[in-house]
Amino acid sequence: MPPEVLLRRKAARTDRIVRAVAVLLVLAMIGGGVARFLSVHNAENQKAAATQNVASISALIAKYNKAQQEYSRLRADEALFSPVVAGEVNWPAVLLDLAKATPNGGTITSLTGAATPPATTKSTTAAPPASSLPIASLTLTIVAPSGYPYFETWYDSVLSSGQFQIEEWSSIQPVGGKSTSVVTYSATLEALGTIQSSRLSEFKVAIK
């Protein structure tokens, strides 16, 4: 084969190889550009999502701080007003508990009561619990049908109620002469702090 023909064929093959390489280079450049575009776009999306999350968290923090401030204010109000109403005597509750502690058969014929001011002390020792302190003093007279057996039942019932202490009592006296079993006696009771003010719950704040 003539040398000219061989040279032309060789040149044609070289040209085809160069074009193929050029096409591959162009495709590689396009692919790299697309990859960079997608990477940048993904980074922008992640940045936008992170910014949105930061904004949401900041809003939640502000909301929580406001709620915490409101809760602290309510607890401060509780600390301010609870001692004021805690010293009140809930007389309906006192009388109801006294009626519950009085066994059947006895009749309270007279009753007087007075609030007991809270004790103030400068002692450094721990103060006793408020539930064990007297809040009111009651003086009552009871008429009962069976003398000492009823008094013993009444005494145990009042103490076991957990709402009263018995400070003193009088001797048991018959009513209408010695021939009758009906008797009467008087007693002084202390109503305890377990009988709370009906308004105390109004100032209680739920613990988180």
User: What are the pLDDT digits (tens) for 130-157?
Assistant: 667 888 999 999 999 877 889 999 999 9
CA of residue 8 relative to chain centroid, distance: 97
69 found inside a domain: yes
Q: Are 121 and 145 in contact (CB under 8 A)?
A: no
- On whether both 155 and 180 belong to a single domain, the answer is yes
0.75 exceeded by the pTM?
no
Average pLDDT of each block of 10 consecutive residues along the chain (208 residues)? 66 73 69 67 73 75 68 59 60 90 92 79 55 86 88 93 93 78 92 70 52
Write down the pLDDT at residue 125: 55
- On whether both 123 and 191 belong to a single domain, the answer is yes
Write down the pLDDT at residue 119: 59
- Residues of the domain holding 121: 91-200
205 found inside a domain: no
- Give CA–CA dist 75/83, Å, rounded: 13
Write down the pLDDT at residue 194: 81
Write down the pLDDT at residue 7: 67
67 found inside a domain: yes
Write down the pLDDT at residue 15: 72
- On whether both 178 and 101 belong to a single domain, the answer is yes
- Among 112, 181, 116, 118, which residue's Cα sits nearest to residue 144? 181
Reading the block at residue 81, the tokens are: 């007003």
Q: Are 135 and 195 in contact (CB under 8 A)?
A: yes
Residue finishing a domain among 86, 107, 124: 86
Write down the pLDDT at residue 124: 53
- On whether both 11 and 103 belong to a single domain, the answer is no
